[in-house]
Chain A
């Protein structure tokens, strides 16, 4: 069949429109003028302001700690759960798997509301602890489903062979199961990190007065008024995202040829 031109034009056009606000943010981050509709010449002063802003730096550190802790908890709980669930199908297991998926199946606002009321019932101090619990809840589904998908595609006989040859169960997991599910774990971690680092709705409900995450801080800043500093911050975050995506693409390209010689060794 002949390839038509207009599907490309359509996809290109829509993509271009989605990039307009992003490009504007980048362009205006170098704007000397405080009023972003006026071009006052090229300047890096908002980047200077950004790096001097203690509050934002603190919020960034909080967000990184939070995303890191969340990933750690979600990976341990989600991976163990997926491996255990894969060993034997039970009614209870199915029900639990469905229940654990709920945090990403219901609107975020409900999750935020639910956590706020339960944490105040439990009398937990609002802050990093409550943030980590809430973020872990919506991160487990990502890790769990990514790892489960890998487990389904895995050759069970490898595990059984290792067990029959007398390897203790932990060795079997470490030497056979773990390498097979590692890509699933990694993509689960990437998703969990991104979701945690980006979350506003749930964080607003479960954070305490002492702890600000970066998105919560940005949200309050945007509500009170726009500052060009946010342009600079957005540009930095965008640059880091592009860098990370490019890096993962490069690593992906490295891995493919490397896997082939490894296979016949």
Chain B
């Protein structure tokens, strides 16, 4: 008996070994190294000098970088808010459709979702470009006199962000609303609640986990999508992501990039913590 138990345990360890080794070597290790790196100095010519310093964190407090953090969070908040406004009703309505329509809508959402994010953004470049589609339509309708030059502006970046992140919110809200027991809504309607009141007292609280999961799924990536700001915003909008990239490639300053990443990571971890304490679950709705 004992031997068999030992054997079973050994096969379990053999199964787990690759994942444990990989996770320690390429997830836990690297993240710890990032925190270590953020307290080190940049070497004179190339690489890292292993001596302790707090300068990297002090540098983040400089107005220039504080402003970047503030602007990144502002853009992330604004995009997330708009994604909620557009995506929540979408996912909610979709869950109320017939099975056949659900399938069709799912396919319609999945096609852009599975196409490259870059290519989807590229379509907006055509739309927003000076004398692009939007300008031609607006000028054709005599709403505007000349080209609006919307490409490389803040609204273009916001549209790009919404576009890249909307599917996450829709799927999260949908999967939560799908599980909703609609007879509860009907019961509250039968008892005389207006449809508005029934929504806020019954449906909304029950789909809140999906909504919050959607917030996490849109807010966190929106901090890192530097290529959206890059392609649709030109050089005008600088986000934390762009600064990290610049410090790594042009600045060759790994420790400072590490400090920026560490701060960003702590802030996003706090967000997830908040999500967990509000919903009381580890699971992200709509993702897994």
Interface residues of A in 1-59 (CB under 8 A from B): 1, 3, 7-8, 10-11, 14-15, 18-22, 24-25, 28, 36-37
Residues of B close to A226: CB separation below 8 A: 122, 125-126, 129
A225 CB to nearest chain B CB (Å): 11
The answer on a CB contact under 8 Å between B114 and A113 is: no
The answer on a CB contact under 8 Å between A11 and B90 is: yes
The answer on a CB contact under 8 Å between A109 and B245 is: yes
User: Beta-carbon contacts of B92-129 to A below 8 Å, as 1s and 0s?
Assistant: 01101100000001011111101111111011111101
The answer on a CB contact under 8 Å between A114 and B30 is: yes
The stretch from B51-59, B206-214, B253-261 touching chain A is B253-261
Count of B interface residues, CB-CB < 8 Å: 84
Q: How far does the alpha carbon of A93 sit from the alpha carbon of B20 in the complex, in Å?
A: 9
The stretch from A64-72, A241-249, A255-263 touching chain B is A241-249
Which of under 10, 10 to 19, 20 to 34, or 35 or more describes the interface residues of A? 35 or more
B245 CB to nearest chain A CB (Å): 7
Q: Tell me if A162 is interfacial: C-beta within 8 Å of chain B.
A: no
By secondary structure, the A interface counts as helix
Closest partner residue, chain A, to B94 (CB atom): A11
From B136, B220, B230, B248, give the contact of A205 (CB < 8 A). Answer: B248
From A15, A103, A120, give the contact of B27 (CB < 8 A). Answer: A103
From A37, A87, A99, A245, give the contact of B12 (CB < 8 A). Answer: A87
Q: Tell me if A88 is interfacial: C-beta within 8 Å of chain B.
A: yes
From B14, B107, B166, give the contact of A245 (CB < 8 A). Answer: B107
Interface residues of A in 169-187 (CB under 8 A from B): 169
Residues of A close to B48: CB separation below 8 A: 117, 121
The answer on a CB contact under 8 Å between A222 and B244 is: no
Q: Which of B48, B86, B109, B244 has the most CB of A within 10 A?
A: B244
The answer on a CB contact under 8 Å between A198 and B33 is: no
Q: How far does the alpha carbon of A98 sit from the alpha carbon of B125 in the complex, in Å?
A: 39
Given contacts A194-B114, A222-B122, A115 and B30 within 8 Å (CB-CB): yes
Q: Which of A134, A169, A238 has the most CB of B within 10 A?
A: A238
From B22, B111, B223, give the contact of A136 (CB < 8 A). Answer: B22
The answer on a CB contact under 8 Å between A110 and B105 is: no
From B28, B34, B114, B132, give the contact of A241 (CB < 8 A). Answer: B114
Q: How far does the alpha carbon of A148 sit from the alpha carbon of B125 in the complex, in Å?
A: 41
Interface residues of A in 213-229 (CB under 8 A from B): 214-215, 218-219, 222-223, 226
The answer on a CB contact under 8 Å between B12 and A88 is: yes
B140 CB to nearest chain A CB (Å): 12
Q: How far does the alpha carbon of A102 sit from the alpha carbon of B269 in the complex, in Å?
A: 10
Q: How far does the alpha carbon of A78 sit from the alpha carbon of B264 in the complex, in Å?
A: 28
Given contacts A84-B12, A100-B19, A133-B26, A113 and B123 within 8 Å (CB-CB): no
The answer on a CB contact under 8 Å between A19 and B268 is: no
User: Beta-carbon contacts of B16-60 to A below 8 Å, as 1s and 0s?
Assistant: 101110110011111101100100000000011000000000000
From B15, B118, B189, give the contact of A84 (CB < 8 A). Answer: B15
3 tightest A-B contacts by CB? A21-B123, A84-B15, A81-B19
5 A-B interface contacts by CB (under 8 A): A117-B257, A120-B254, A142-B288, A222-B231, A226-B122
